[in-house]
A and B are shown apart, each in its own frame.
Chain A
Amino acid sequence: MAVILHKDYKVERDDYAAAGKVSSDIKQTLNSIGYDPKVMRRIAVASYESEINMLIHAYGGDITMDIMDDGQVKLVFKDPGPGIPDLEKALTPGFSTASEKARAMGFGAGMGLPNIQRVTDDFDIQSSQDGTTLTLSFRPAK
């Protein structure tokens, strides 16, 4: 399985004005290669929620996208902290530690991570106080 397209993005700390720009580019990139619209929508939703999480819960971070020759898409969201103290709670629908600022943006309902998990084919999350890495894979529709 070879990578046919690789992209790197950066989410700057507290850059709320840019929230969603990376996910918009990811969606447009997939659209430009004629990717399946239904799977693309799932990727866009997961990417957007993850990008927002980087802003509202972490100190920004790095995002990479790899599109494989068999149509699989892999997204990695890596932030430098502060980490998620209780992963089990963070994955519980409705549980939220979001700030007023996040809520004012329309987020912080405690649906982010559960939502990402629901729309993703393979979901992996590793977190410590040094940061969180979220690895998401999507398979093309058969």
Chain B
Amino acid sequence: MKACEIAESLHAVPITLWDEDSRNTEYSAAFATDLMSDALALIQERPESVALITGLVNSQTLRTAEMLDMRFVVFVRGKYPSDETIEMAEEMGITVIATDLTMYDACGLLYQKGLGGIYGSHTA
């Protein structure tokens, strides 16, 4: 699923890095958590094509994405990052979008549209 399709599905607003290449980048799975240690522990295969969905809007989310070579972060629950966090994402080359949806709804919508989890267990 392309980044722009994910954004459209979630009625999300783009915050950083939304050029043509970023919009058209394909993501094959998503992982949702507010616990960065869980992301660090579980996202092992092809993290560059996994979207990170989280309500944790601070620099540690970006650091976690950086450590894992992830390139796409979706902030949920109407949370908006600080200028400092936005600047950090831009420096790291990470695309960030934000939606008012709750994590449950955001995950449900994306799953329904065919974006599965990191273990490839999509059956909807």
Residues on A facing B (Cβ under 8 Å) = 17, 19-20, 23-24, 27, 37, 41, 44-45, 47-49, 52, 105-112, 114-115, 118
Q: Which of B34, B58, B59 has the most CB of A within 10 A?
A: B59
Between A and B, 23 residue pairs with Cβ closer than 8 Å are: A19-B63, A20-B63, A24-B66, A41-B47, A41-B67, A44-B67, A48-B40, A48-B63, A48-B64, A49-B37, A105-B36, A106-B36, A106-B37, A106-B56, A108-B37, A109-B35, A109-B37, A109-B38, A111-B38, A112-B37, A114-B41, A115-B37, A115-B40
Q: How many A-B residue pairs have CB under 8 A?
A: 68
Rounded to whole Å, the gap between the CB of B35 and the closest CB of chain A is 4
Q: Nearest Cβ distance between residue A40 and chain B, in whole angstroms?
A: 9
Looking at chain B's contact residues, the main secondary structure is helix
A60 to B33, CA, bound (A): 27
Chain B interfacial positions (CB closer than 8 Å to A) = 34-38, 40-41, 47, 54, 56, 58-61, 63-64, 66-69
Contact between chains at B63 and A107 (CB < 8 Å): no
Contacts of A47 in B (CB 8 A): 67
Residue of B nearest to A106 (CB): B36
Given A37-B69, A105-B58, A106-B56, A49 and B40 contact (CB-CB distance below 8 Å): yes
A17 surroundings in chain B (CB, below 8 A):
59
What chain A residues lie within 8 Å of B56 (beta carbons)? 106
Main secondary structure of the interface of A (DSSP, over half): helix
Q: Given the complex of chains A and B, what is the CA–CA distance between A20 and B37 in angstroms?
A: 13
Give the docked Cα–Cα distance between A44 and B68 (Å). Answer: 8
B41 touches A27 (CB 8 A): no
Given A41-B69, A118-B41, A107 contacting B36 (CB threshold 8 A): yes
